[in-house]
Structure 1
Amino acid sequence: MGIKQEAARLNTRMRQENPLVHNITNYVTVNDCANALLAIGASPIMADDTLEAADITSISSALVINIGTLNQRTVESMVLAGKKANELGIPVVLDPVGAGASDLRNKTTGKILEQVKITILRGNLSEVSYVAGLSVSTKGVDTSDKDNNKDARLVALAAAKKLCCIVAVTGAIDVITDGERVVKVSNGHPLLSKVTGTGCMTSAITGGYAGTKEDAFTAAAAGILSMGIAGEIAFEKAGALGAGSFHMALIDALSNLNEETIEEMGKIEEE
């Protein structure tokens, strides 16, 4: 069975199991992440207070840490939740939003990586380049034009080998690797970059797939494929109407996504 078929099968399993996914995420996209998880078949919970972050993680199937909107309180919650996840064998997805853009983001990323074992790292080329220890030219939370000249495959491999985890670099062509295996996904649509939160939603639904406790490589591939395919379907249904309608159609597409659609539409290349 190839990776596309494995990812497709995992969609069915996730919808059957309805894993609880704890998200410590940013307030710009928290509602989008919750709706995306519900649509794809998982169950979201958002708890970022230090007094309950670890407790909520302990009853969850996966933890997603997103550093999009940082403050000192949530940084501590991220570490506490991450440590509890590691203690209990719960997969951790890290989305290092804007890593490289500020001292606080850089220190927070470093602190999390030092104290928490990450299962899946999901970010754009600039963010993953920073995590890999490569030179980086950030543009807020987007990939800079300068970083776009980098080889995403090499950047992903460098980060995966450094952190000993699954790395997914998302862009025009997405790259997923465990440091040895590499797959490339070419699903998606440029309008995805014009709607706030599509990256955060991708990390969240990847957490949903990881919550099945299936192979993390398959979970990462399933999350990336799902958002890319949903983007294509949403554009076909509502793209001509504008970004707002596309946004709504994206949630519709995720809610209707199934094993058959992933197998039919998935564009994934295994090296």
Structure 2
Amino acid sequence: MSPLQHDPARVGAPDSAPDADLEPIAHVLDAVRRREPLVHCLTATVSMGLVADGLLAAGARPMMTETLQEAPTLTTLADALVVNLGTLSTDAMDGIPATVEAAVRDGRPWVLDPTAIGIAPVRTPLARTLLASSPAVVRGNASEVLALAGEGNGGRGADSGADPGSAEDAAARIAARTGGAVAVSGAADLIVSTRGRFRLERGTPLLTRVTGTGCLLAALTAACRAVETDDLTAALAASTWMALAGETAQERSSRPGSFRLHLLDALDEVGR
């Protein structure tokens, strides 16, 4: 499957051989910290704080506005755009298509996070329509990726009811359609493009117990894509960065509240 496979027994043991995982993508982390890309985040209101703080901890800079009156104009200042459908407001529903259009017009990379699509009557067709604008990366859980491909009704809200492996073929079809990469998050992350596939068995279940870590991963993916032109490498870099930060945070805390705090510290620490 992939040159980046790991024994599941290693998950949660970041001190075993972190360099082996960082080596292929360390240059991306360095570039984010050196260039400090500005990421325009049209993201879920419930996770805005974590997304903004997480980007800053990683070395990037956040910008957040979603209205039709301002978002398409302000996105011209950004290095990358991320569109998250997690808490889709009326403002965002109106602003997203025009903002994506502006990003595509200017050749600005953008990331689609089709949060909680499936039976939702507004966000689901919107997400499928946005695929025509060729996101550099689609980042979602297995249920979301299956629903985006028209092969399922989604999970339970933002929670997946499917294993990443079950969405591999759907991810490959989406990647072939967009020409970009698809990152499927789960117990093992799957990153797919027409050029290759990676399976990353790192991270910690605590990442699923803090609201907004998926939203943050999508924004981190946009930051990586802003400095790395290869979609697959950028998606792999972001997934690896988040997974290793999660492992480091887990070493320092076994509970969700303090884990959130340590996750921000770890994002700053990974790869230094």
Q: If the length of structure 2 is used for normalisation, what is the TM-score?
A: 0.88
Gaps of 5+ in 1: 260-271
Deviations 1:36-91 (A, max 9, x none): 10001101000111111111111110000000011232122111111111111110
- Trace 1:61-76 onto structure 2 (pairs within 5 A): 61-76=79-94
Inter-partner Cα distance in structure 1 for 2:195 and 2:79: 26
Shift of residue 150, structure 1, vs aligned partner:
5.4
Identify the residue that residue 44 of structure 2 maps to in structure 1.
26
Whole-angstrom distance in 1 between the partners of 2:43 and 2:154: 24
Query: Is 1:124 paired with 2:141?
Result: yes
Instruction: Determine whether 1:138 maps to 2:138.
Output: no
Q: 5+ residue gaps in structure 2?
A: 5-20
Matching of residues 106-121 of structure 1 within 5 Å: 106-114=124-132, 116-121=133-138
The one-letter amino acid paired with 2:88 is L
Aligned-partner Cα distance in 2 for 1:248–1:192: 12
1:202 equivalent among 217, 220, 223:
217
Match of residue 181 from structure 1:
196
Against the structure 1 CA distance between its residues 179 and 149, is the aligned structure 2 distance closer, same or farther, given a 3 Å change threshold? closer
1:162 to 153, 160, 177: 177
Q: Is 1:9 paired with 2:27? A: yes
Whichever residue aligns with residue 136 of structure 1, its letter is N
Relative distance call for 1:188 and 1:149 in structure 2 (3 A) is closer
Alignment of 1:214-229 (within 5 A): 214-229=229-244
Q: Which residue of 2 is the match for residue 238 of structure 1?
A: 253
The 1:123/1:66 distance shift into structure 2, 3 A limit, reads: same
Alpha-carbon contact 2:114-2:140 (below 8 Å) kept? yes
Helix, strand or coil at the partner of 2:194: coil
Aligned pair 1:92/2:107, yes or no?
no
Preserved contact between residue 67 and residue 92 of structure 2 (Cα < 8 Å): yes
Identity percentage over the alignment? 34
1:152 deviation in Å?
3.5
Per-residue Cα deviation, 1:78-119 (whole angstroms, up to 9, x for no partner):
1111111111111010000001031112122133224x2211
Query: Displacement, 1:203?
Result: 0.5
The answer to whether structure 1 residue 252 and structure 2 residue 265 are counterparts is yes
Q: Post-superposition shift, 1:13? A: 1.1
Counterpart-to-counterpart distance in 1, 2:164 and 2:65: 38
User: In the TM superposition, what whole-angstrom CA distance separates every residue of 1:134-192 from its partner, at most 9, and x where no partner exists?
Assistant: 13342111101xx3385233232122123332100010111111134001111100111
Is 2:164–2:189's contact at 8 Å kept on the other side of the alignment? no
User: Does structure 2 retain, via aligned residues, the 8 Å contact 1:78–1:112?
Assistant: no
Contact kept, 8 Å, 2:40 with 2:78, in 1: the verdict is: yes
1:208 partner amino acid:
A
Q: Which amino acid aligns with 1:258?
A: G
Report the counterpart of residue 11 of structure 2 in structure 1: none
Q: What is the total number of aligned residue pairs between the two structures?
A: 253
